[in-house]
Amino acid sequence: MTQLKPPALASWMLRHLVPGDRTEALEGDLLEEFQRRHSASWYWRQVLWAIVASVAGELRQHWKLLSLEAVFVLVWTYYSLLFLRFAQQQFWALAFEPHGRSLWWVLMHCNGIVSLAIPLAIYLAYKRFTNLLPALWGLCFGIVVAWALALPTLALALKVGGGWVIRWPILLHAFFSVEAAGILPYAVPYPWWLFPANLLRQSAPLLFAIWAAQLWGKRCQSTSLQN
């Protein structure tokens, strides 16, 4: 008897987006039931619910860590705003000079990297992770996702008038954090509505790092079982 194949994309999503060590059994159960029901829409519903349920479970399980991350991002954001209030006084003139602009870029990059790396370091220390490499890959993927989440801010940057003198700080904000917008109050009112987006964006790399580390752990576990 030939087996009906469920939607390939849904199966891929099930394998890669459901954390934990139950994916194999769950996938087998869904495949078994799919042979009886013959409904692609049923399969899709099941996969999407499985993803939602497992992610909700992960969030519930890691609520302490996520709370820590949320507090960290808020504290870091406000600290950065204060820092840039000070820095803009020191570097404002330099920032728009040709050599000063590169200095500003370096500062912004360092700030962005640190703001992403510290929560990850906290998490790795918290979990005593040894599988650092997949976590770093997850972090890189998370940064890409984080930038994608910053697209609305990029769109705002393109809509704002006043030329690139005003636009580039908004672009920096989009790529790194709210801190770059610290210099904006002189030009445009601060877009406070970006705070939730910023929280989500800064949490994304960490969440992806956790996800990658878990996938790696699962893979290692299945390899050792096979051996």
Partner 1 sequence: MTARSQLGEFELIVMLALLRVGEDAYGVPIARAIEEGTRREVAIGSVYAALERLEQKGLVASRLGEPTPERGGRAKRYFRVTGAGLRRVRAAQRALVALWQGLPQLEGGKA
Q: State the residues that interact with partner 1 by CB under 8 A.
A: 3, 18, 20, 22, 24-33, 35, 45-47, 49-54, 56-57
Query: Distance (Å, rounded) from C-alpha 112 to C-alpha 178?
Result: 10
Residue 82's CB is within 10 A of a number of other CB atoms, namely: 12
Q: Which two tokens stand for residue 81?
A: 């705003």
Q: What is the DSSP letter of 144?
A: H
Smallest distance from the beta carbon of 176 to partner 1, in angstroms?
A: 36
Smallest distance from the beta carbon of 49 to partner 1, in angstroms?
A: 3
The three-point CA angle 35-40-42 to 5° equals 85
Nearer to partner 1 among residue 11 and residue 131 (C-beta): 11
Which residues have CB under 8 Å from 86's CB, separation 6+? Answer: none
Residue type, 104: W
Nearer to partner 1 among residue 38 and residue 109 (C-beta): 38
Smallest distance from the beta carbon of 54 to partner 1, in angstroms?
A: 6
Nearer to partner 1 among residue 17 and residue 145 (C-beta): 17
Smallest distance from the beta carbon of 46 to partner 1, in angstroms?
A: 6
Nearer to partner 1 among residue 89 and residue 223 (C-beta): 223
CB 81 within 8 A of CB 178: yes
Q: Which two tokens stand for residue 156?
A: 């705002």
Smallest distance from the beta carbon of 174 to partner 1, in angstroms?
A: 35
The phi and psi torsions of 20 (rounded to 5 degrees) equal 95, 180
Smallest distance from the beta carbon of 65 to partner 1, in angstroms?
A: 17
The three-point CA angle 164-167-171 to 5° equals 125
Query: SS3 of 25, please?
Result: helix
Query: SS3 of 1, please?
Result: coil
Nearer to partner 1 among residue 65 and residue 180 (C-beta): 65
Nearer to partner 1 among residue 49 and residue 79 (C-beta): 49
Query: Distance (Å, rounded) from C-alpha 118 to C-alpha 7?
Result: 40
Smallest distance from the beta carbon of 55 to partner 1, in angstroms?
A: 10
Nearer to partner 1 among residue 54 and residue 77 (C-beta): 54
Residue type, 136: L
